[in-house]
Amino acid sequence: MTGKPGAIIRKAQQQDGAFSFCHPLGGDTSEITMTMLGRTAGLTRVGVNLGRVPAGKEAFVYHRHHGEEEWVYILEGKALSDIEGEIEEVGAGDFIGYPIGVAHNLKNIGDGDLIYLMGGEQTSVEVADFPKHKMRLMRTGERIEFVKEDAAEAFVPDLKPVKK
């Protein structure tokens, strides 16, 4: 499917642009099939995606964003929602908002697929942490890099007053 502004993405067309993804830090626990509805419709600042997660899998590994908010609206199935270590069961009709800095994850605990809409901001630069893996993601445009959380030292300049 090609994106064009104001495009209507019919239900029958949505699988044309679908792709499967396993999070590189997730091993065999992560798997999602996604359709990028917003991008296909020509949206560049807001992401809206349709996700399908098989039974027993998680979409992405536990993570937190530093610059982008996210949300999830569950259409079918049930999952365990982990928000900052607080685990709750969620299901069809539930909406979850993830403000900046809030670590989160969803795991499908149903017998069938977990199907949901997800979305959020799409900034040109983003940093996300994966606390259980002690890794950091840095994204600039389409380029994504993972680094160890402790790979860089904090930089605090030694500010000295200018002598007159």
Condensed to tens digits (0 to 9), the pLDDT of residues 15-55 reads 888 999 999 999 899 999 999 999 888 898 999 999 999 99
The type of residue at 146 is: F
Domain formed by 12-123, architecture: Sandwich (2.60)
Phi and psi at residue 86, in whole multiples of 5°? -90, 115
How large is the average pLDDT for residues 101-113? 97
The type of residue at 70 is: E
Position 12 confidence tier, pLDDT thresholds 50, 70, 90: confident
- Listed in order, strand segments (DSSP E) in the chain are 19-21, 32-35, 46-53, 64-65, 70-76, 78-83, 86-91, 95-98, 104-108, 114-121, 125-130, 135-140, 143-148
Is the pLDDT at 138 greater than 90? The verdict is yes
Q: Closest Cα partner for 63 from 12, 10, 106?
A: 106
Q: Are 139 and 129 in contact (CB under 8 A)?
A: no
Domain ranges of the chain: 12-123
Position 9 confidence tier, pLDDT thresholds 50, 70, 90: confident
- CA distance linking residue 7 with residue 156, whole number of Å: 48
pTM of the model as a whole:
0.86
